[in-house]
């Protein structure tokens, strides 16, 4: 990492990615840490997934988020920090009906920056899951559909 200022309206290397309908703008990247700004539209989400080798966190700037750890639901608003330990499945949901803005981070960085480059604009869920697995992010299978009677 070099000494520098990443301006508010810019991303590192002028990158900005559309990942599952959310806008991610990288702000800091080193071997140890990767930090990005995320704009999460109302009713958007990141399906449950696991980072086997990274701790992840979210600092909520505005709006409200819900994070599911299995059957546990945690709610967070402006000024709150959500901590998601490595190896623990989590899903991130904006069910508030309004946009949310946050700062995300992971440590160590591993392959996440490169993953976001690959996922930019991908809309097919199966392709997103396939690509993510190549970069050490494992999405959980969707829950079984309820049986019809």
Give domain limits for the chain.
12-137
pLDDT of residue 145: 42
The answer to whether 1 and 16 have CB atoms below 8 angstroms apart is no
Total-model pTM: 0.90
> Per-residue pLDDT tens for 25-52?
999 999 999 999 999 999 999 999 999 9
CATH class of 12-137: mainly beta
Helices vs strands, H then E, count in the chain: 2, 11
Report the SS3 class of residue 88.
coil
């Amino acid at each position: 990492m070099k000494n520098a200022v990443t301006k508010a309206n810019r991303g590192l290397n002028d990158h900005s990615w559309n990942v599952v309908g959310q806008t991610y703008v990288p702000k800091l990247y080193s071997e140890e840490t990767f930090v990005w700004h995320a704009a999460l539209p109302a009713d958007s989400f990141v399906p449950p997934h696991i980072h086997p080798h990274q701790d992840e966190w979210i600092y909520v700037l505005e709006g409200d988020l819900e994070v599911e750890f299995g059957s546990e639901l945690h709610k967070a608003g402006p000024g709150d920090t959500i901590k998601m330990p490595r190896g623990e499945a989590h899903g991130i949901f904006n069910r508030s009906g309004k946009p949310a803005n946050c700062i995300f981070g992971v440590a160590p960085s591993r392959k996440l920056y490169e993953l976001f480059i690959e996922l930019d604009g991908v809309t097919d869920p199966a392709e997103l899951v396939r690509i993510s697995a190549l970069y050490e992010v494992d999405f959980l299978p969707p829950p079984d559909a309820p049986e019809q009677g």
